Structure 1
């Protein structure tokens, strides 16, 4: 049913639930699992961070740690990538490049409000692939 699964993580509780589901689905369907974490510099003001290699480096390091943790928990091979940009654009672009059958992501990010997060909403609305939010 699923040959290629993409899971996005930002380290939030809902993203961790999405990772759990992705690991289970990839194992169940013997699917190729891809993990993505997007460094969203727009959240902090891209113009302010664009010249700050230190801040971008710290955000990228955190993204790498999240993906490495996913790899250690997986009983299938995981291909990981860290991207920089608008999260929904990068998730959609990467999903297209790997021809993902399913995208999983948290229903809200690090802000942890009661409403669906903007990234999840935009992925569901604009990415032309099945999406599961957790």
Structure 2
């Protein structure tokens, strides 16, 4: 049913649920799993990140840790990707690049309240493939 699965993480609780769900699906369907972390330049500001290599390196390091944790926990192959930009755009572009059959992400991110997060909503609206939010 699914030949390739993409999961997005930011380290939030909903993203962690999405990662667990994506790993289970990938294992069930013997599908390669791709995991993406986006350094959100909109949230932190291009000027702040552009002026401070240390800030960018810290955010990338956090993303790498999250992605490597997914690789270590998974019983399947996981390809990892770190990108910079607006999360929904980068997730959508990467989904198209790898021609994934399914995108899995948390229904809220680090800065969201009780409703579906803006990035999750934007991915659901703009990706031309099935999306599961957890």
Aligned-CA RMSD value: 0.7
TM-score (norm 1): 0.98
The alignment of Structure 1 onto Structure 2 pairs a total of residues equal to 134
CA displacement, residues 33-74 of structure 1 (integer Å, 9 cap, x when unaligned) = 000000002102222221211000000000000000000110
TM-score using structure 2 length: 0.98
CA distance in 2, matches of 1:112, 1:92: 20
State the Cα distance separating 1:18 from its structure 2 match. Answer: 0.2
After TM superposition, where is structure 1 displaced by more than 3 Å over at least 4 residues in a row?
none
- Hey, what's the Cα distance between the residues in 1 that align with 2:39 and 2:49? 11
Residue 13 (1) aligns with residue 7 (2) = no
5+ residue gaps in structure 1? none
Answer with 67-76 or 41-50: which moved more.
41-50
Is the partner of 2:104 in helix, strand or coil?
Answer: strand
Partner of 2:51, secondary structure, is: coil
Q: How does 1:111-122 map to 2 (within 5 A)?
A: 111-122=111-122
